[in-house]
Amino acid sequence: GIQVEQSPPDLILQEGANSTLRCNFSDSVNNLQWFHQNPWGQLINLFYIPSGTKQNGRLSATTVATERYSLLYISSSQTTDSGVYFCAVVGYSTLTFGKGTMLLVSP
Amino acid sequence: DAGVTQSPTHLIKTRGQQVTLRCSPKSGHDTVSWYQQALGQGPQFIFQYYEEEERQRGNFPDRFSGHQFPNYSSELNVNALLLGDSALYLCASSSLGLAGGGAYNEQFFGPGTRLTVL
């Protein structure tokens, strides 16, 4: 099956800093989603981005499907951005998740 | 517009018992997928239901079974519980669509059920 690798595994930032999270995948995909998991376990949809670039406020994402990677950019980070960020891909019909990036934003 | 709902939120069981978890999909969605998330890991796919049938299955034993009802809601059943079944169980819904191409459509997750097996 498809392998999904996320980096870095952990990230500590000061409030206001920018960051880039990376997701590499081992095969061509039909769907890619980025999620933010809050401390209570809820997975919040950030982007549905099988290819191209999207922006939503301070967050943006780019997927280069031909090179099998996606990037999530967080600008002017806030303490509420803390949590785990997951990349998940669909090769055939089900989502395969990476292990996530744990982000801690300190005031 | 109600999102994906799951019940119960928390559950404590003992080894050998059986458990049933429930999920109602987002309005307009017809496909339900179940995932298991162990502590510190990403969610792992268990199975997917569409038109009341299991459409895809991940690498989970037969102790894990499911059902989808005509109103698209779904249940996950786990028999003969093991300590290793302790996890967060997540339900996701999506719209498969008549052509089946909706397998690639965006999935939305419920808040999860946290199962503890003692």
Residue B26, domain CATH: 2.60.40.10
* Domain ranges, residue A30: 4-106
List, for residues B2-57, the tens digit of each pLDDT value: 799 999 999 999 999 999 999 999 998 999 999 999 999 999 999 999 889 998 89
Q: How many structural domains is chain A composed of?
A: 1
List, for residues A19-59, the tens digit of each pLDDT value: 999 999 998 888 899 999 998 899 999 999 999 999 999 99
Residue of B10, B109, B113, B114 to mutate when probing chain A, most A C-beta within 10 A: B109
Residue of B45, B54, B57 to mutate when probing chain A, most A C-beta within 10 A: B45
Find, among A93, A89, A33, the residue nearest to B32 by Cα. Answer: A93
Q: What is the mean pLDDT of residues A81-92?
A: 91
In a domain, B118, yes or no: no
* Domain ranges, residue B60: 5-102
- Nearest-Cα distance to chain A for B99, in Å, is 13
Residues in chain B with CB shorter than 8 Å from the CB of A35 are 109
Q: For residue A46, give the CATH number of its domain.
A: 2.60.40.10
In a domain, B76, yes or no: yes
Out of A30, A45, A97, name the one closest to residue B43 (CB).
A97
Q: How many structural domains is chain B composed of?
A: 1
Average pLDDT taken over every residue of chain A: 94
In this structure, which long-range contacts are made by residues B43-47, counting pairs with CB atoms below 8 Å and at least 24 apart in sequence? B43/A43, B43/A86, B43/A88, B43/A95, B43/A97, B43/B90, B44/A97, B45/A94, B45/A95, B45/A96, B46/B76
Specify the pLDDT at position A1: 84
Q: What is the mean pLDDT of residues B61-87?
A: 97
**CA distances (Å), origin A57, targets A54, A61, A74, B100:** 10, 11, 9, 33
In a domain, B108, yes or no: no
Specify the pLDDT at position B105: 82
Q: How far apart are the two ends of chain B, measured CA to CA in Å?
A: 37
